Amino acid sequence: MSSEDVPRRILLAHVGREAFTEMSRSILSKLGYALVSPEEFEECAEPLGRDLPDLRIVDERSLSEVPEDGYSSVPIIVITGRHGVTGVDPRIVGAIRRPVGVHELYRLTQELLEDTPRATPRIPTHLQARCTRDGKEWPGAVLSLSETGCLLRSTEPQMLGSCFILSFALPRAGVLDLEAEVTYQLLPDLGVTFHATSPSHREAIADFIDRALRCD
């Protein structure tokens, strides 16, 4: 197993595959979250050097049937109906409506597990880009992309806080021109946040990411 194949987080699902929407496991895997059954966890725990999963996913109708041996310290996300759950059971840290949508589960696990949670997925890319500011233009490449920003490799050094127009093309949407600000460095690259993004541009980026995640 290569380092790229090792999941960042393991979600132990005490439910059948019917609890999740189609392709949820595949998409979550590409985002770094392995959604596994108890049997699958037993097989992968030792190779991954893991004693426990990060979260358990349990249907509220079978909470009493979930074994606690060895897992009592692992918090639970409950699959429930539209009325949600109460805070009576201290094991429960979150709830999500059935059938479980991948984006909703991603957002919830991000909030529960990550120090800097993302509301939207980010995928690796290599999109040729053009940067423009005050009549000056220089090339770059978008190395990863989310609805709210990207990782940019720029041929011209940029200071933190600098703003410019970032342009790149998506297959189904054509060229997008986005207001961009450099908000961090991930050497040698730049973390860029998009501002005042139009709904059509956000939809185009979201569609591009969703299609990329669904491709084998």
Together in a domain, 82 and 176: no
Domain holding 42: CATH number?
A: 3.40.50.2300
pLDDT for position 85: 77
pLDDT: which is higher, 21 or 213: 213
pLDDT for position 163: 97
202 is in which domain, residue-wise? 123-214
Tokens for 28? Answer: 């979550």
Together in a domain, 134 and 171: yes
**100 with 19: CB under 8 angstroms?**
yes
CB under 8 Å to 121, separation ≥6 — which residues?
31, 103, 106, 146, 209, 213
2 located within any domain: no
pLDDT for position 122: 87
48 located within any domain: yes
**13 with 36: CB under 8 angstroms?**
yes
Confidence of residue 5 (pLDDT cuts 50, 70, 90): low
The 3-state DSSP class for residue 147 equals coil
46 located within any domain: yes
Segment holding 123, helix H or strand E: strand 123-133
Q: Residue 56, Cα to own-chain centre: how many angstroms?
A: 18
- CA–CA distance from 80 to each of 34, 109, 211 (Å)? 21, 16, 28
